[in-house]
Structure 1
Amino acid sequence: MQSSSDLFPVALLSAERRGDLSEDVYRIKAANSPDASVEIAVTRLGFADQQASGVPVILLHGSFSNRRFWFSPRGIGLGAWLVRAGFDVWVPEMRGHGLSPRNLDYRQNRVADYARYDLPVIGAFVHEITGQKPHWVGHSLGGITLAAALGGHYLDEAHVASVALFGSQVSRSYWPLKMPPVAWGGRLLLKRLPHISGSRLKRGPEDEPIGVALEALRWNGLFGRFGDGKDDWWAGLREASVPVLCVAAAGDHQDPIWACRKLCEQFGSAQRQFLVLGREQGFSENFGHVEMLVSKAAQVEVWPLVGRWLKDSNAPLVAQPEGVPVGA
């Protein structure tokens, strides 16, 4: 079968029509990481009766999730809304999530692997197919992975028009984890599990590999930092120059406003905006971690702001006291 890319092997797995939309699913097998069995599924959303020609946008799901966070089989979701707003939408699924098969070393998968190996391949493929710099939007762990890829200088900024992080932070500390006996006990317990079940924990439809949880323990440990080995991702963010939008939700108890703001302020970008979704900022409700992007209120109040940002990252979205002004 002929590859859909000149950069690495890419197979078109399916092309389906869902109402007015089309879903073309590609599987990338770049063999660029230590585990050569890794394959990444990327779905391209578009109109069923016309070729995509808009500005490309890559949507990254969070933990325990998959492509359906961004669009349902009925064509509902931010991804589908962006297509109808004229954007060319691409939705990858991380290793072992959704249509991406579990690789041989699935248990050991980490954010470091997603950031160092997978995101650069996804960005290069979308850039090759569209001939344009893609915008990136990440929710929760998807946003953290984006920050890691930029802070580690793994993701070529020639493949990044802008980044938008929703409910993403790395600064909230769990002080018990800084006590060595607690951290050791946590590692021993996690190593005995085959994976972390999203359905059992009622966190989402997908499982997460143990490697991601062990990595989070290390970040939160006594001498932990946001990085991997010698790569200090936190410090590296100071050199990032792409436009950045960071969005926190007032009702998000998992990723608090102050921590999301701290990540935003760490970027060295000249164009930064920080937005809080809450009643005090003029929204109809204090949005939650998921509801900030998946809810009827988000459809009316948040999705148009995303579209506005993607069209012009210089334009302030909402005048509110929690904002980091453009150029701050």
Structure 2
Amino acid sequence: MQSSSHLFPVALISAERRGDLTEDVYRLKPGNSPDFTVEIAVTRLGRVAAPDARGVPVVLLHGSFSNRRFWYSPKGIGLGAYLAREGFDVWIAEMRGHGLSARNSAYASNCVADYARYDLPAIAAFVREQTGQAPHWVGHSLGGTTLAAALGGQTLTADDAASVAIFGSQVTRSHWPLKVPPLQWLARLILKRFEHVSGPRFKRGPEDEPMGVILESMRWHGLFGRFGDKKDNWWSGLAQVTVPLLAVAAVGDHQDPEWACRELFDQFGAPDKSFLALGRDHGFSEDFDHVQMLVSKAAQTQVWPRVADWLNRHAAAAKTESTLNMMATPQL
């Protein structure tokens, strides 16, 4: 079968009509990481009424224990479907072993460092190849954390991201037992015996989460831990990021609280950045929680339009900058 990309093997595994939307699902096999069995499923949404009229590309990244259905339900409801109907070129990625992305050989050791160093750059390259533009990125929870890791580690640059919006994402909230080395050592010794944490069993979501992500988070929050891996300090690298940033926190979120989300926001060096707290004291109808901030009827009317406005403003700014650069380039 002929590849849909000149970058690496890509197969179009389905092309369907879903009500007023079109749904194309691609399977990427970038082969850029030590585990060559990695496959990444990316769903592209468009409008049936205007299949060739696609706006700026937007890549959506789900959080832990989740998949593409967080953004796009079988009934065609979700931020992804909303943005597609608003004319955006929507791409929904599913991380290794989640949703339509098959479990790779080293599934148990999958971690944010792998997503940030290998998978996000491959997704960015494919979307840029297909659209001719740097995509905008939207991440929820671990999806936003992964974006921060890629930006802080410079595996995702301004050439790959026109703007970034992160929802309910933080890396500084920790629990005191993780600061006690013997307790963390014992916990790691026990957890290493398991391949994953079951989302359905513990009522965290529809997907399992590989143990590598859990152990990685424990290392970040250990006594001498930091947001990074052995090679890079992502936390310090965020100060050099210039990509426009929107960070959104939910006042009623006890998992990733507002204060911790703000700390991550403050670490970004981007001159163009905005912080939004979703709560009654900030003009919203309720104190949103970790999921309701993007998946609820209130979010449909109060949050989704703000996301579209952010994307439209920065799409226009990027277009203006591109035009000015072309005008400034000497013609031969």
Contact 1:199–1:207 under 8 Å retained in 2: yes
Structure 1 distance, partners of 2:183, 2:22, is 49
Structure 1 unpaired stretches of 5+: 316-328
The share of aligned pairs that are identical, in percent, is 70
Matched with 1:68 is 69
Q: Give the deviation of 1:155 after TM superposition.
A: 1.2
Question: Per the alignment, do residues 190 and 52 of structure 1 end up closer, same or farther by CA in structure 2, a change over 3 Å counting?
Answer: farther
Structure 2 distance, partners of 1:51, 1:203, is 38
Matched with 2:328 is none
Matched with 2:80 is 79
Matched with 1:2 is 2
Task: Give the 5 Å matches for 1:1-328.
Answer: 1-49=1-49, 50-313=51-314
Number of residues paired by the alignment? 315
Question: 3-state DSSP class of the match of 1:245?
Answer: strand
Q: Please, what TM-score do these two structures have when normalized by structure 2?
A: 0.93
Q: Give the deviation of 1:52 after TM superposition.
A: 4.4
| Aligned amino acid, residue 165 of structure 2 | A
Structure 2 distance, partners of 1:193, 1:156, is 35
Q: Give the deviation of 1:74 after TM superposition.
A: 1.0
Structure 2 unpaired stretches of 5+: 317-332
Structure 2 distance, partners of 1:109, 1:32, is 14
Structure 1 distance, partners of 2:185, 2:201, is 24
Question: 3-state DSSP class of the match of 1:312?
Answer: helix
Q: Give the deviation of 1:215 after TM superposition.
A: 0.2
Structure 1 distance, partners of 2:251, 2:218, is 26
Q: Give the deviation of 1:313 after TM superposition.
A: 4.2
Q: Give the deviation of 1:156 after TM superposition.
A: 3.0
| Aligned amino acid, residue 23 of structure 1 | E
Q: Deviation digits for residues 139-181 of structure 1, max 9, x if unmatched?
A: 0000000000000011132010000000000011211111011
Structure 1 distance, partners of 2:287, 2:54, is 36
Question: 3-state DSSP class of the match of 1:157?
Answer: coil
| Aligned amino acid, residue 132 of structure 2 | G
Contact 2:56–2:315 under 8 Å retained in 1: no
Contact 1:271–1:313 under 8 Å retained in 2: no
Q: Please, what TM-score do these two structures have when normalized by structure 1?
A: 0.94
Question: 3-state DSSP class of the match of 2:159?
Answer: helix
